[in-house]
Structure 1
Amino acid sequence: MEKQKLTIYYGVGEYEGIKWIDTTNSLINLLILPQNNISYLTNEEDGKDYANKSGVYILVGNNDQYIYIGQTNSIKKRIIEHTKTDSDGTYNIKQDFEYLIFITTNGNSLGATDRLYIEQQLIKLASTNKNLTIENGNNGQNSNITNHEAGVLNTFINDFRKLLNNINIKIFETKILDIQTALKNTQNEDISLKVKYNDNNKLYLKHTNNEYYAEGYYVDGKFIVLKNSWTKRLTFPDYMPKRYPSDVNFFNELLNKGVLVLRGDKYIMTEDYTCNSGSQACTLFIKISTTGWTSWKNADNKTMKEIYKINPKI
């Protein structure tokens, strides 16, 4: 597993207590801002790099036992709203926060649907920590995203949680779980990707001469290839583009999306990815059109066909 590489900048003088955190092997850019330094965001010169950025934020209070999670297209505007008394004179409980965690990217690339998805998943994850009081009035809004987009954002969320753990902020849970497992534990039925992950039903694709190695799961008629699966077969046979163009196009699509990357002498999966079938998943690594029903096997060397007792038309 690749370790997170962090660069942390610490505020001094009037901005003592602020932390700016960059990660060199993910998109995440993080701002940790104590409440007494909120003026940083309203300072037109000092706070200009963050003030109008979009992202997801967490207000943390009561010694890490109270949180509020939100999303915004301008963190400066939203924090000003949270730190003033309501128009009817009512005290705003969000004024009680001790520090702000603001999650964004260096390129300010989180769109509205991205932010809504991240917000909703973080609320669900927070609900698994019985020591937390969550001040959100609802569970967030649903966002219309594809399984692929959900996979990319789940990786982003996992990286964020690991980052918090690395800097000793454990507001979600003390043990970092895969997001799919953690969300499954909440028993919410609206999770877009219901992944039945456990070692008992993991499947493997192996080559005797170590030319490829992949792991995955057969779930609800789809096949999920796991992160870090790889192949040393870098090119397709000459006949493949003409006879099986969809397989070649699918491989190229994953390259363009950054789901597959070339590292040294291997193409490696950078995230879990849902394929339409075990056969489509096979082709990514074997580079020839083949059937996944007999190629993917479990730890006991039983094929998918034997395990699921399916007689596919192949």
Structure 2
Amino acid sequence: MLNQIFLTLKNRKLVLPSIAALPLLMAYAGHTTIVIPKPLVPYLGLEILDLGWIYKLYMWLLAIFCTNSINIHAGINGLEVGQTIVIACAILVHNVMQIGVSSNPEYKQAHAFSIYLVQPLLATSMALFSYNWYPSSVFVGDTYTYFAGMTMAVAGILGHFSETLLIFFIPQVLNFLLSLPQLSGYIPCPRHRLPRFDPQTGLLTGTNDGTLVNLFLRQFGRKSENSLCILLLVFQFFTSYQRVFEFVYCTGHLLLLLFLAEVVPGWLVQMRWRLKRKQSLVWSHSRGITSPDRLFVLYFLPSLGIRET
């Protein structure tokens, strides 16, 4: 009975996640500040801005978006579960890196709690992915997509990286922007905005519906269902992990600088000692001293490009 009542609600996909996100906002006890980009600091006169209730409004909208974004970016076998696995892995890696570089116990605890939330989702999704991949024997519906989206939203909000979480959802944001004219009713929206299947070739053809799936088919041509899913998941991987790549890039440069600061001075001192050693050996040879150092002068120094004087 309740299910039939919910189905009659026209905007149930917005109303129900909105109600479900309220306890999340009440449980949030983190910061409501943002760091101002350095080019804007001279104009605003401050480096950190406290948004207050506006920040909580952003988190409320983020929870609604994440809940529906997985459900909207769908339509082919393996896509819903595959994108969940990619985003969950990105969240997991981000939390591990932040725990490693942070010295704040409260900050570490928040990221650890996010790991506790995303690990069961990742494990169950990986098991489900083997059955949901093309040709699928198990189909996921709204139950899984809403659950996956809300779980990742909670992991990002309570883990205190709700801004970074939106970077992991870049394909979903693009899909939402493409779908907005149809979802808002400006353009007629069919119930299922799926690509067209050609039974003779077994390939999918993109339609004019505003989805990322159809956009990829229009841009890259007709493809089979599994190859299209792989292409979309690769795009999801590179967009979701750009934050991780930036961190690894910066960390690599930092380690290189530390290596140069620690190793190069000692190496220069060692080379200076070797040069002094070579000079003393050459002076000993000029005095007519015969010893094992004489062999060093005769055989080793020429290999370094140093000739006897």
What TM-score, normalized by structure 2, do the two folds share?
0.22
Highest RCO, 1 vs 2 (Cα 8 Å, sep ≥ 6): 2
Query: Could you say which structure has the larger radius of gyration?
Result: 2
Higher relative strand content? 1
